């Protein structure tokens, strides 16, 4: 491990890997430090998809569109199972059609394409959906990737162009003197640097504590189920729609929501990888414990009980693995990108919630901003200042 660096990146998830990659391309002397293996946190416990169906005009859409652009470009160089699957939103209640039509109009105005599938279309194209799905909306621009392969590709490339990659290395302390970072103390030795990027995802608060800051994050644990390989079951990325009431609280899409499903905030998401395995989700429970990555028994029961309501064929499919990931939401659910005003050199890149993959372009946004380049969108909404002023 190097003992000096222009900049140290903490965290080798999707955000940390992307940032390291772009910093290395800029020719900067960057050292990446990660407590476990690459993609070992939330980025390795995700559905790995970027969906257009829930995007609306605004910064979220802009980040997603840029992410897809970057990924499509990278897919020409690296194989990370980039798959333009599109996404299918299933509708089971006629009362929602009007509302959905309004959504589509707004989405369309910012370039998000979508098409209706009638029940007849579904009989032909999606014969495995349950009969209570009356229609569906298809968003062709959604994509799926394999986040593990992507992280590995970015880190390998970064290493080739000079980045120093250190996995299985814990950050024990960050020494600050006169409000300026001096060095990072790790389990493998010290790195003298004046700049640190905190891309530690669910562990970002812990890292921020080392410099006397406290980034508040809401950690939401989600479980995912992986099935055995099966033949293609129609569109490889499907989900149900969630209505939100005036207060922004989710109202369930289906009248058949059970108590258990409600308890675990289950929303049906299904995706199929290029290999044929299916990922079934999704659930959410707020988690106090950063180390609780255990599968929650009731959570997977809730997910699966909901899944068969939409795709009864899944009943006979076997599942072979489950995993859980911790979604790091910032308090306003916007990513936090940017330097601290109180600790010189401490830069934050976290708070992506459940959209680490979808908003991986924020890594490039941050790097461009730090290097004084023209950014593809304004970084204003994400600056750390808004959080820092309140903590």
Partner 1 sequence: MIETEIAIVGAGPAGLAAACESAQVGSKVIVFDENNHPGGQLVKQIHKFFGSKEHLAGVRGIDIGKKLYKRALSLGVEVRLGTVVWGYFENQLAVVFNNQVEVVSAKKIIVATGALENTLSFPGWTLPGIMGAGGAQTLMNLYRILPGKKVLMVGAGNVGLIIAYQLLQAGAEVIAVVEAAPKIGGYKVHADKILRNGVPILTGHTVKEALGKERVEKVIIAQVRSDFSIIPETEREIDADTICLAVGLTPLTELLWLMECEMRYESDLGGFIPVRNKNMETSISGIYIAGDVAGIEEASIAMEEGRIAGIAAAESLGHIISDKARMIKNRAEESLLQLRLNPSFAPRMTEKNKTNNGIIKNSQIEILNRNGSIPIIECNECIPCNPCETVCLFGCIQVGTTITNLPLLNLDKCTGCGQCVLACPGLAIFLLDRNYSKDEAAITLPYEFLPLPKKGEKVIALDRNGSKVCEGEVLNVILTKKGDRTALVKIAIPKEHADKVRSIKTTRLDSGKEGEN
Partner 2 sequence: MDNSKNEQGKLVCRCEEVTEEEVRQAIKDGAKTLREIKMITRAGMGLCQGRSCSKIISLILAEETGISIDKIEPAGYRPPLRPIAISALAKAKKKIGKKLKYKFSSAYNE
> Which residues form the interface with partner 2 (CB under 8 A)?
37-40, 44, 148-149, 152, 155-156, 159, 165, 167-168, 225, 227-228, 259-260, 275, 277, 280, 295, 300-301, 304-305, 307-308, 314-323
**CB of residue 264 vs partner 1: minimum separation in angstroms?**
14
**CB of residue 321 vs partner 2: minimum separation in angstroms?**
6
* b/e per residue 301-333 (b: at least 16 CB within 10 A): bbbbebbbbbbeebeebebeebbbbbbbbbeee
Confirm if 78 and 153 have CB atoms less than 8 A apart: yes
Pick between residue 21 and residue 38 the one whose CB is nearest to partner 2: 38
295 binds partner 1 per the rule CB under 8 A:
yes
**CB of residue 278 vs partner 2: minimum separation in angstroms?**
10
Pick between residue 99 and residue 297 the one whose CB is nearest to partner 1: 297
**CB of residue 151 vs partner 2: minimum separation in angstroms?**
8
Pick between residue 137 and residue 266 the one whose CB is nearest to partner 2: 266
294 binds partner 1 per the rule CB under 8 A:
yes
Confirm if 63 and 69 have CB atoms less than 8 A apart: no
Pick between residue 36 and residue 97 the one whose CB is nearest to partner 1: 36
**CB of residue 318 vs partner 2: minimum separation in angstroms?**
4
Site for partner 1 in 301-320 (CB under 8 A): 301
Closest by CA to 134, choosing from 33, 254, 40, 223, is 254
Give the C-alpha separation, 298 to 276, whole Å. Answer: 26
- What 8-state DSSP symbol labels residue 180? E
**CB of residue 305 vs partner 1: minimum separation in angstroms?**
12
Question: What is 16-60 written as a DSSP string?
Answer: HHHHHHHHHHTT--EEEE-SSSTT-SGGGSS--EE-STT--TTHH
| Host H or E run for residue 262 | helix 259-263
Closest by CA to 65, choosing from 116, 111, 108, is 111
Residue 296: name its binding partner from partner 2, partner 1, none (Cβ under 5 to 8 Å by kind): partner 1
**CB of residue 14 vs partner 1: minimum separation in angstroms?**
27
Site for partner 1 in 315-374 (CB under 8 A): none
Pick between residue 38 and residue 139 the one whose CB is nearest to partner 2: 38
Closest by CA to 352, choosing from 372, 326, 376, is 326
Pick between residue 64 and residue 227 the one whose CB is nearest to partner 2: 227
CB atoms inside a 10 Å sphere around CB 125: 14
**CB of residue 297 vs partner 1: minimum separation in angstroms?**
4
Cβ within 8 Å of residue 40, ≥6 positions away? 12, 13, 34
Give the C-alpha separation, 321 to 298, whole Å. Answer: 15
Pick between residue 222 and residue 335 the one whose CB is nearest to partner 2: 222
Q: Which two tokens stand for residue 251?
A: 């109202």
Residue 155: name its binding partner from partner 1, partner 2, none (Cβ under 5 to 8 Å by kind): partner 2
Pick between residue 295 and residue 342 the one whose CB is nearest to partner 1: 295
286 binds partner 1 per the rule CB under 8 A:
no
Residues that bind partner 1 (rule: CB under 8 A) add up to a total of 5
Residue 119: name its binding partner from partner 1, partner 2, none (Cβ under 5 to 8 Å by kind): none
- In this structure, what are the phi and psi dihedrals at residue 71, rounded to the nearest 5 degrees? -65, -40
Sole binder of partner 1 in the list 42, 114, 296, 330 (CB under 8 A): 296
Closest by CA to 254, choosing from 51, 114, 96, is 96
**CB of residue 78 vs partner 2: minimum separation in angstroms?**
12
Pick between residue 64 and residue 296 the one whose CB is nearest to partner 1: 296
- Tell me the CA end-to-end span of the chain in Å, nearest whole number: 34
CB atoms inside a 10 Å sphere around CB 214: 13
Closest by CA to 43, choosing from 135, 189, 146, 171, is 146
Sole binder of partner 1 in the list 56, 99, 286, 297 (CB under 8 A): 297
Contacts with partner 1, residue ranges (CB under 8 A): 294-297, 301
């Amino acid at each position: 491990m190097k003992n000096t660096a222009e900049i140290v990146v903490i965290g080798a998830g999707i955000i940390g890997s992307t940032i390291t990659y772009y910093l290395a391309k800029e020719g900067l002397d960057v050292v990446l430090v990660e407590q476990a293996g690459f993609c070992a946190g939330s980025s390795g416990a995700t559905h790995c998809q970027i969906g257009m169906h829930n995007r609306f005009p605004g910064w979220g859409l802009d980040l997603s569109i840029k992410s897809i652009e970057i990924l499509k470009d990278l897919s020409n160089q690296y194989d990370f199972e980039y798959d333009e699957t599109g996404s299918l939103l299933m509708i089971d209640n006629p009362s929602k059609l009007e509302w959905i039509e309004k959504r589509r109009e707004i989405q369309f105005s910012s370039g998000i394409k979508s098409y209706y599938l009638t029940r007849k279309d579904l009989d032909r194209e999606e014969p495995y959906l349950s009969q209570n799905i009356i229609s569906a909306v298809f968003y062709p621009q959604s994509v799926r990737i394999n986040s593990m392969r992507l992280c590995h590709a970015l880190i390998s490339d970064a290493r080739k162009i000079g980045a120093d990659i250190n996995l299985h290395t814990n950050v024990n302390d960050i020494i600050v003197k006169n409000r300026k970072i001096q060095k990072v103390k790790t389990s493998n030795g010290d790195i003298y640097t004046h700049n640190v990027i905190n891309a530690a995802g669910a562990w970002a608060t812990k890292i921020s504590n080392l410099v006397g800051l406290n980034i508040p994050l809401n950690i939401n644990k989600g479980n995912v189920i992986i099935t055995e390989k099966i033949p293609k079951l129609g569109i490889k990325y499907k989900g149900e729609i969630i209505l939100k009431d005036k207060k922004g609280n989710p109202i369930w899409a289906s009248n058949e929501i059970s108590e258990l499903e409600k308890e675990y905030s289950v929303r049906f998401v299904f995706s199929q990888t290029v290999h044929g395995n299916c990922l079934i989700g999704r659930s959410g429970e707020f988690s106090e414990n950063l180390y609780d990555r255990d599968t929650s028994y009731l959570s997977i029961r809730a997910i699966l009980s909901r899944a068969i309501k939409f795709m009864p064929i899944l009943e006979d499919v076997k599942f072979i693995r489950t995993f859980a990931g911790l979604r790091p939401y910032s308090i306003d659910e916007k990513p936090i990108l940017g330097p601290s005003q109180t600790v010189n050199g401490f830069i934050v890149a976290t708070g992506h919630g459940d959209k680490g993959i979808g908003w991986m372009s924020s890594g490039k946004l941050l790097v461009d901003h730090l290097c004084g380049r023209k950014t593809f969108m304004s970084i204003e909404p994400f600056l750390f200042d808004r959080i820092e002023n309140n903590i």
